[in-house]
Amino acid sequence: MNIEKFIEKENLKQADALVLKKRFFGMVEHYVIYMGYRGHTPVFVANFQDGVKEVPEKDIHNYLKTYEPKDIERFNGDDTERGQAFKRAISRIGEKAYNYFGNNCEHFKNWVHSGDNFSSQVNSAGKKAIVAGVGVGVIGLAKKHPKTALFGASLLLIGAGLRKLSNEKNG
């Protein structure tokens, strides 16, 4: 896919986010912020395991081989707010504080868009772990199987921890 044609076709603007999903068995989405053009080169920024960085154009082409654009999350705001979002993204380039559950690419995208650091994906995983923990715990107690009940309680605590790390923006 030609990224320049994609940008034009989708009418991307600074601070819009590409939502990318792995092509094979993709359960987790990856977020990349479009920053505009530098000269004739499109610039994207994302939070990766090795830190927040600009994504070289050749890497964007490679990502589009591994990931497929699932959606575009448009920046909601006026031009002044868009400029503030751009500055937020730039301010974190070079930061190496990635954490899958507490500071991932979705946390970064949401922080750029709104100034709030949260991840709906982590929050959802936490909710699922809580529900599973309650279910497993109840079954363990009902069958008088302490190891199963303890496993359920562990899942519940993991879920609560994930919800805390997600910063629970979306309830």
Rounded CA-CA distance 83/101 in Å is 28
User: Mean of the pLDDT values across residues 4-16?
Assistant: 91
Helices and strands per DSSP (H, E), number in the chain: 6, 5
pLDDT in the model for residue 169: 56
Give per-residue pLDDT as tens, 26-85: 557 889 999 999 998 899 999 989 999 998 777 777 777 777 677 899 999 999 999 999
Could you please report the per-residue DSSP string of 67-116?
A: EEEEEEE---S-HHHHHHHHHHHHHTTT----BTTTB-HHHHHHHHHHS-
pLDDT in the model for residue 168: 56
Give per-residue pLDDT as tens, 73-116: 999 999 999 999 999 999 999 999 898 888 899 999 999 999 98
> Residue holding tokens 């069958």?
143
pLDDT in the model for residue 70: 78
- C-alpha angle with apex 130: 124 to 116, nearest 5 degrees? 35
Phi, psi of 69, deg, nearest 5? -65, 120
Which of the 8 DSSP states describes residue 126?
Answer: H
Could you please report the per-residue DSSP string of 21-53?
A: EETTT--SEEEEEEEEEETTEEEEEEEETTEEE
